[in-house]
Structure formats: C-alpha cells, structure tokens
Amino acid sequence: MHSILITGANGFIGQALVHRLRNERYIIKRAFRCSTSRSTLSNCRDFVVGDINGDTDWSQILDGVDTVLHLAARTHITRERIRDPLPLYCAINVAGTRQLATQAAKAGVKRFIFVSSVKVNGERTYGRAFSEYDPPAPEDAYGISKKQAEDVLVSSLLGSKTEYVIVRPPLVHGPGVRANLKSLTWAVIKGLPLPFNSIRNLRSLVGVENLVDFLVCCINHPNAAEKVFLVSDGEDVSTPELVRRIANVANKKAWVFSCPTSLLLAIARLVRRDAMIEKLVGSLQVDISRARRELDWKPLKTLNEGLYDMVSNMSSDPSEAKDGRWYK
C-alpha cells in the first residue's frame, strides 16, 4: 500500500486531508509535535516527532514512506509582537524543511509535496493575477521564510530520486477556519455593520476541500513533479461581495455601508490593525490555469458551496464547531 507522511496533521488543512484520505488505500502516518488523541482510523499511524527544526529526527517515521505532504509550519501572525520574528520562522519553516527533505531523500521517498503560500509571490496584485512564472516578491517574515523553504527544498532534493511539488494557496476557507476570516464571518452572522461597501478589489480564496483535492491530485500525477502551482476556487470576489455571499449562505442580511478607503486605513493604523485592513482593501488574485492545463484539475466546489460549509459548521459559540473532526 502507498504510504503517506503528513506533517501538521492536526492543523486546519491537515485534518481535512486526513479526513479525505480516510477511506483511500493509503497508509497515513500523522506527525505531531507532542502527544495528541490517537486516530480511530484503521489506516492511520501516529508519531510524535517533537519540535520541527534542523535537528528533528525523521528516520523512524520515514521508513517505507512513498510521499511526504509537508504542511507543518510557523504560520503567519497578523499582530506579531516580536520585533524581528524572521529567525523564529526560519527555524521551523526553513531549517525544518531542509532537515525533512534531506532525510526524505535518504529514505527513498518518491515525492515531497510542500504547502507554501501565495505570500511568496507578494502581498498584492494590480490588475493582473499572480502566476507561477512571476518573480517571487515576499514582503513579511512569513513570506520570506516560505520562499527560503522552497529554495532549500529544491536544493536538498537536487540529484536525488525524490521529486518535489510546491503548492502556493491564498487564503483558505472552510469548516474550522480561524483568524481574520473567522472573525469576519462571525461579524456578518451577528449582523454587525461593516464599512466595506466602497472597496473595489478582487481576491482569490481556496476552500479547504478544493485545496485538499489538489494535494491529493499531486500525489500521483506525473505532470506535477518538479513544479510550482497556484491554486484557488477559480473565482475572485471583492470584500463587500464576500460579505454578501457569507450573509447569503448564513441566511442573514448583509449590513455593509460606504466609508472612504483612506479613512479606513487611517483608523486601522491608529488601532494597529492596518495589516488586516490592507488585506480587506487590496487585491490579491492568482491564476490557476497551469493547474487546470497540466494536471487537468478543476475545483471540486464553488466558492459559495465552500462558504456554506464553513458557515453551517459554526455553532452559536464562536469557539466551537459542530463537526469536531476539523479542529479541537
């Protein structure tokens, strides 16, 4: 049977990936930083590897593994409290990736799929969507560390029989979503007035099921090897349109009013939320034509279907979800 190692298996994307593969003919090895609840799935094997960095020993868990899906990372933090967080990002995202890739090559792993980020491309688009052929232009510590991780992955596998695949998703939505999108969704559900009606932008998103489906496609597709892919739901929306769609699937009324963008940004800077507001104001589009053309892949679900799944998963308590399989 095909054996797959998933790092970050207890994360938002990792849990969805394990759930998708639960009935497939795969042996799934889930890697955790510390002890966690054991899986009840017959095809799952759990391993505790400790902190992921340049010293992590992967030798035991990599034995017999055909494919690595590397999801674990120090993720983007909107309100970073450390003056220079880059070394912290690099310890996990760069050194950790190099260590895993080097040991994967030695273990004879056939394919290493790395979940990077669209932030490698940059923070904003201006009338043209990002593609895989654009020169990388990361701006913050997270994006820089992901770009460096991509580079060390390629160099670590150079000359080996292990193929790499790099996937750069934009904002991921779906059941169990956290951070800013979760906050925005709850604001819409609660009927809070939102000052976004004057925003004229376009942003790409990807539903967690669409992202997982793409990752599964990359496991065996021969055309995926040694390539970078951008992935999304295939449709872009403005911030006010996103609010209206969330309200629609939640069967709520969208309360959006107009406020000059300059005023929004000024207020955001005063309350130190400028990074969050800039994302709501700016455009960030990705072109998924390479995935469609070379892998014959298309999104499983529309954006509306993904938003419905996200909203219907939320209970009356914002800290909980109806379906505990997605996060705990």
Distance CA 55, CA 57 (A): 6
Query: In the prediction, which pLDDT does 317 show?
Result: 45
Across residues 251-265, what is the average pLDDT? Answer: 83
For 200-228, what is each residue's pLDDT tens digit? Answer: 999 999 999 999 999 999 999 999 999 99
What is the per-residue pLDDT for 78?
56
Q: Is 273 or 17 the better-scoring residue by pLDDT?
A: 17
265 to 177, 238, 239, 269, 271: CA distances (angstroms): 25, 17, 15, 6, 10
Note the pLDDT tens digit of each residue in 72-123: 998 866 555 677 889 998 999 999 999 999 999 999 999 999 999 999 999 9
Secondary structure, 3-state, the chain: CEEEEEECCCCHHHHHHHHHCCCCCEEEEEEECCCCCCCCCCCEEEEECCCCCCCCCCHHHHCCCCEEEECCCCCCCCCCCCCCCHHHHHHHHHHHHHHHHHHHHHHCCCEEEEECCHHHCCCCCCCCCECCCCCCCCCCHHHHHHHHHHHHHHHHHCCCCCEEEEEECCEEECCCCCHHHHHHHHHHHCCCCECCCCCCCCEEEEEHHHHHHHHHHHHHCHHHCCEEEECCCCCEECHHHHHHHHHHHCCCCCCECCCCHHHHHHHHHHCCCHHHHHHHHCCECECCHHHHHHHCCCCCCCHHHHHHHHHHCECCCCCCECCCCCCC
Catalytic residues: 142
Query: Amino acid letter at 144?
Result: I
pLDDT of residue 240: 93
Greater confidence, 103 or 324? 103
The pLDDT value recorded for residue 278 is 72
All structural domains of the chain, each given as residue ranges with its CATH number in brackets, are 2-174+204-233+285-300 (3.40.50.720)
pLDDT at 38: 63
Residue type, 163: E
Per-residue pLDDT at 76: 63
**Residue 3 CA to chain centroid, in angstroms?**
23
Q: What is the CA radius of gyration of the chain?
A: 20
Burial of 55 (0-12, 13-18, 19+ CB in 10 A): exposed
How many other C-beta atoms are found inside a 10 Å radius of the C-beta of residue 121? 26
In this prediction, residues 261-288 reach a mean pLDDT of: 76
Q: Supply the pLDDT for residue 201.
A: 92
Q: Which of 143, 124, 132, 253 is nearest to 193 (CA)?
A: 253
> CA-CA distance, 123 to 169, in Å (whole number)?
13
With tokens 């599964």, the residue in question is: 216
pLDDT for residue 121: 97
CB 114 within 8 Å of CB 222: no
How much is the mean pLDDT over the chain? 88
- Residue 319: pLDDT over 90: no
pLDDT score at 50: 85
Q: What is the pLDDT of residues 247-257, one digit of tens each?
A: 999 999 988 88
Residue 106 has a pLDDT of 96
Higher pLDDT, 265 or 92: 92
pLDDT tens track for 11-36: 899 999 999 998 778 899 998 877 66
Residue 324 is predicted with a pLDDT of 34
Put simply, whether the predicted model's pTM sits higher than 0.85 gets the answer yes
